[in-house]
Amino acid sequence: MLSFRVLTMAKCFLQSLLIIIIGTATNVYASDVRGIIKDETGNSVAGVRISIDGSDYVTSANDGTFSLVTPKKIEMPVKVSISKFGYELKEVTYKEDENYIEIIISKLKDPNQGKVNQVLLRSKENIAFKNIIVLIDGNTYLANREGKVNINKWANYNSEIIIPGYDILGKTYKKDEKSIIVDIKISSIEDEILASINDTSDYKSDFDKIFKQFEYEKKLLTESNRKIELEITYVINKLKADSTLTPQQREELKQYLSELEAAYESNKATIQNVVEKKYNLIFKLKMIIEQKDSIYLVSQQKLLEYQKQKEMLEVEYKRKLKFYGAIIFLLAVIVVAGAILLRIIYNQKKIIEEQNQKMDAFVYKASHEIKGPLHSMIGLTDLAKKDIKDNTALSYIEMIAKSAQKQLMTVNDLLHLSRVKQMPLNLKLINPVQLIQEVIQSLSFKDGFSRLKINIKCDENMQFHSDEKILYSVIQNLIENSIKYQDTSKQDSLLNIEVKKINHSILLEFTDNGLGIDKIHHKKLFDMFYKANEHSEGSGLGLYIVKLSVERLGGTIEVNSEHNLFTKFSISLPTRY
C-alpha cells in the first residue's frame, strides 16, 4: 500500500512538473492588464467572466474591476470574450499607454435571447469526435461519439468556441433548437502559413504569427489538461471515499474516469504534435530564409531572440529542478520513514502474537488445573445429595452443583478453544453424510432430541478433504444448538442440513424452525462470551469457537435468522486436494 501511494505521488509530481514547464514556455509574451466592466448606463457590473487575447478567464469584482495576464502582448484590435447570463459584448476601449481596457456590455431584452444549450461538431473528414476538447467561454467540455457537447454554463450564439488541434470552418446557430453547429477540420496551420510567405515584406508578421499561434494553442491544451487532472482527482477521491454510491453510480463514474483519462492522453499527444509542428516549421522557414537575404537577416534576429529566451528558460529550469530535487529527496525520506514504520508494525505484531501464544498456553494450563477441583466438587455434591435430608440444604447443594457444571462447561470450551488454535490441521478425505450421521448419533441422549426431525440433503458419494475433528466439532455445535433452542409452541421441530459443491467450494447449510435470533444480535453473535438468549446456560463461547474453527479450515460462516421463525447457518469451505 505504501509503495502504491509513493508511486501515485511521484506520478502527480511529474505531471505537475510537465505543466509548470510548458506553462513557463507559454508566458514569454505575457502582459499584465487591468480593466473595468460597465453597462450602457455607465454602472459597473460584477460577476462577468472575461478573457483577453486567449488569457485565462477571470471574474469582475463588485466594483466591476478586473486584472489578468494575457499569453502575449496586446495588439489591436483587442480580442475580448465575455460570459454573463443575459448580457452580450457591445464595445471595447483599449488605452495602450496604461495597458487598461474598458468594456461595455448591454443587457439583452430577453435573457434567453441567443442562448445555446449544446454544440454539435460536424466534419467532412473522418474524425473520431469522442473526447475532443471543446472550450466554450473558457469552460472545458468533452464531445461524445456523435460530436455532441452539452453546455452546463450559460453561453449564447456569439460565445467564444476554441477546439485545440482543429480549425473551425464555420458556425451555424439554430435558434429553435438553441444549438450551434460547428464545421471543423484537422488543423493545417503549417501549410497555410508557409503558402502565405511570398516575399520578404510578409515575413516578419508571419513569423510572429506562427509563434504566437503555436504558443496560444499549447497554452489552451495545457490549461485544459490541468482542469481534466482536477476532475480526475475529484472522481478518484469520490470513488474511494463516498460509501453511499450505488454499484451503478460507481460503474458510471469509472466510465467517466476512463473517458477523462483518454481525453488527457489525447491532449498530451496534441501538445506533442504542436511542438513537432513548431520545430518542423522553423526548419522549413530556415530553408526559405537562406534563399532570401532580407529574410535571412530577420531570421537571424529572431533566432538570437529565441536563443536568449532559451537561455532564460534553462536558468529557470535549473532553479526549478533544484526545487524538485528537494521534493524528490523529501519523498525518499517519506519512503524510508514508511519502511521503518512497517518494520515497527511488524515487530509489534510479532510481540502480540508471542503474547497471544503465552496467553493460550496459560489458559490451557489453568483450565486443566481448574478441571480437577470442579470434578471433585461435582462428585462431592452427588454424595451430599444422597446423605443430606434437609430440603434447604439440598437446594443449596443443587445450586452449587449447577454452578460447578456451568463452570466445567466453560473450562471445557476454553480447552477446546486452545486446541483449535494450536492443533495442526490433519487433512483427510471425508464423507460428509457419514460424519453428520455420527454427530447425530452422539447427540441422541440430549433432552429434546427425539422431538427434532433432522433431514439430510447430500450426495452420499460426495467426498472432500478437511480436518475431521474440527469439522465434527463445528457440525456438533450447530446441531446441538438446534436441539437446545427448539420452539416447543410449534407442532413440529425441523432441522434441514444440506451439503453441496459450488465451483471450488463446499457449502454446508443448517436451517431450523426454532426460536430464531433477533437481528440486533447478528453482528455480535460470533463474539467471545456473547449470548443472544439471556436465559442460555451456555458459556457464550460456542459460536465463537465455531467461527474460529471454520476460519481455521480456511472458510467463512454467515447467519440469517428471524425471531420465532427460523435460523440458518451457512458455512463455505474451500475444496482441498
What is the arithmetic mean of pLDDT over 457-468?
A: 89
According to DSSP, residue 44 is labeled B
- Domains 31-107 and 114-187 in one fold: yes
Highest-scoring range by mean pLDDT, 96-110, 184-198, 426-440, 522-536: 426-440
pLDDT for residue 204: 53
What is the arithmetic mean of pLDDT over 411-426?
A: 65
Q: Given a cut of 80, is residue 376 above it in pLDDT?
A: no
Grid coordinates in use for 565? 421463525
pLDDT in tens, 140-170: 888 888 889 998 888 887 788 888 778 888 8
- pLDDT-derived band at 15, boundaries 50, 70, 90: very low
Q: Given a cut of 60, is residue 294 above it in pLDDT?
A: no
Strands 31-38 and 100-107: parallel
pLDDT for residue 508: 94
Report how far residue 463's alpha carbon sits from residue 470's, in angstroms, rounded to the nearest whole number. 16
Q: Does 114-187 carry CATH code 2.60.40? A: yes
Q: Given a cut of 80, is residue 465 above it in pLDDT?
A: yes
pLDDT in tens, 261-283: 877 777 777 767 766 666 666 66
**Domain extents in the chain:** 31-107, 114-187, 425-574
CB neighbours of residue 221 within 10 Å? 25
What is the arithmetic mean of pLDDT over 319-335?
A: 86
Percent of residues, the chain, with pLDDT higher than 90:
16
Instruction: Specify whether the CB–CB gap between 432 and 499 falls below 8 A.
Output: yes
pLDDT in tens, 247-259: 888 888 888 888 7
pLDDT for residue 354: 66
According to DSSP, residue 570 is labeled E
Per-residue burial over 45-59, b if 16 or more Cβ lie within 10 Å, else e, is: beebbbbbbbbebbe
pLDDT for residue 478: 92
Q: Does 425-574 carry CATH code 3.40.50.1480? A: no
Which of the pair, 6 or 468, is modelled with greater confidence? 468
CATH fold for the domain made of 31-107: Immunoglobulin-like (2.60.40)
